[in-house]
Amino acid sequence: MRIAVTDGIDVDAKKDLQESGHSVSEKHYSNDDLIDGCISEYDVVIIRSATKLTADVIKANTANGSKLSMIIRAGVGVDNIDLSSASENSVLVCNTPSASTNAVVELTIGHLISSCRKICTGNKKMRDGVWAKKQLRGSELRGKNLGLLGYGRIAKGVAEIARSIGMKIHVYDPYVESNEKDCVYHDSVESLFSTCTHVSIHCFLSEETRHLVDYDMISLMPQKGDDGNLCGNHIVNCARGGIIDEVGLYRALTDGTLATASLDVFEVEPAIKSNLLQLEGFQATPHIGASTKEAQRRIGHEIVSIIRAHSKGEIPGSCLNK
């Protein structure tokens, strides 16, 4: 097959594809090139987030004589692909949903501990020549309630590690069954926030979840842990920007409603001008949830499997419009 790679690919995956007899062309295209139908001669196009396959682009590349039969998103989010246009034009769309799960799980736990123990603040102060030992008293996770807003693959991975740390797991997710015994299921977001000093967000961004976590919701958090310690309230978001109302978050961090907040995702990215960045209780990373060597390698492996299935005329398991 002829494969166009527009936003990069793992070197081993490229080699595997070539060794299987496919031709792989790595080139990023402008929107004008895409509208001109530059990928219509390829069987498969592999994109990340930088290439936008709008309805017009898909239409232009699936006109008469086009070979395009599959779009692969190397990663999870398919906001940059017009799914219905792909379906109308008989193009399968696949992503690699589980490849980055563990990378996000570990980052979430890292953010939780780092913020509660003020690791970044300590590191920064030492580099500034200040030994702030006495100012950096933190709090422990053990014995606290961890509220998971959304309980899919990533949240379940976080729960497993958090349990080994000694946290109690609380969940709100109207789309999953309440069938785990080591888990307290809540029937409202308010109930979850009222119970948990620590909350980690693991839901999709949708009209239902946009600004779901605002100042009023954060104000419900109990400040005092289930173990009787006044640990303050802590929020982590490594899911999607926009679920937290950042204006409310700023207010909560400023008036003590929140002790810490750690975000890997933001309402507007790159988020380098956010006023949150001036607050000591705030900790941020630039959307690096999936950014590990291992995740990129697993994405490569998944892409190879998807193309192998497609070559045999099978529909891959991760196909979103079969």
**Which residues form the catalytic set?**
240, 269, 287
Burial per residue of 91-116, b for 16 or more beta-carbon CB atoms within 10 angstroms, e otherwise: bbbbbbbebbbbbbbbbbbbbbebbb
Nearest approach, Cβ of 151 to its own copies (angstroms)? Answer: 18
Q: How far is CA 82 from CA 10, 59, 66, 210, 268, in A?
A: 25, 10, 18, 21, 21
* Residue of 40, 62, 85, 114 that binds its own copies (CB under 8 A): 114
Nearest approach, Cβ of 282 to its own copies (angstroms)? Answer: 9
Taken in order 280, 286, 287, 291, the sign of the CA dihedral is negative
- 283 scored as a contact of its own copies (CB under 8 A): yes
- 14 scored as a contact of its own copies (CB under 8 A): no
Q: How many CA atoms lie within 13 A of 209 on its CB side?
A: 19
- 50 scored as a contact of its own copies (CB under 8 A): no
Choose one: 52-60, 61-69, 88-96, 228-236; the region binding its own copies (CB under 8 A). Answer: 228-236
- In sequence order, the 6+-apart residues with CB closer than 8 A to the CB of 158 are 105, 108, 109, 146, 148, 200, 202
Query: Token pair 């409202």 is at which residue?
Result: 188
* Residue of 129, 177, 181, 182 that binds its own copies (CB under 8 A): 129
Nearer to its own copies by C-beta: 92 or 244? Answer: 244
Orientation angle between helical segments 153-165 and 101-116, nearest 10 degrees: 40
Contact criterion met (CB below 8 Å) for 4 and 44 = yes
Choose one: 69-77, 131-139, 183-191, 247-255; the region binding its own copies (CB under 8 A). Answer: 131-139
- 286 scored as a contact of its own copies (CB under 8 A): yes
Choose one: 16-24, 31-39, 55-63, 277-285; the region binding its own copies (CB under 8 A). Answer: 277-285
Nearest approach, Cβ of 21 to its own copies (angstroms)? Answer: 25
Give DSSP secondary structure letters for 234-257. EEEE-S-TTSB-HHHHHHHHHTTS
What count of residues does the chain have? 322
Within positions 56 to 95, which residues make up the interface with its own copies, using CB under 8 A?
none
Choose one: 61-69, 79-87, 127-135, 244-252; the region binding its own copies (CB under 8 A). Answer: 127-135
- 160 scored as a contact of its own copies (CB under 8 A): yes
- 133 scored as a contact of its own copies (CB under 8 A): yes
Which residue, among 228, 201, 220, has the nearest Cα to 143 in the 3D structure?
A: 228
Which residue, among 165, 85, 122, has the nearest Cα to 283 in the 3D structure?
A: 122
Count of residues engaged in binding its own copies, rule: CB under 8 A: 62
* Residue of 48, 153, 163, 301 that binds its own copies (CB under 8 A): 163
How many other CB atoms are found less than 10 A from the CB of residue 286?
Answer: 13
- 220 scored as a contact of its own copies (CB under 8 A): no
Q: What's the CA gap between 309 and 306, in Å, rounded?
A: 5
Nearer to its own copies by C-beta: 134 or 312? Answer: 134
Q: Does residue 270 have a cis peptide bond before it, meaning omega lies within 30 degrees of 0?
A: yes
* Residue of 127, 179, 181, 313 that binds its own copies (CB under 8 A): 127
Contact residues for its own copies (CB under 8 A)?
102-103, 106-107, 109-111, 113-114, 116-120, 122-127, 129-133, 136-143, 160-161, 163-166, 227, 229-231, 269-273, 277, 283-288, 291-297
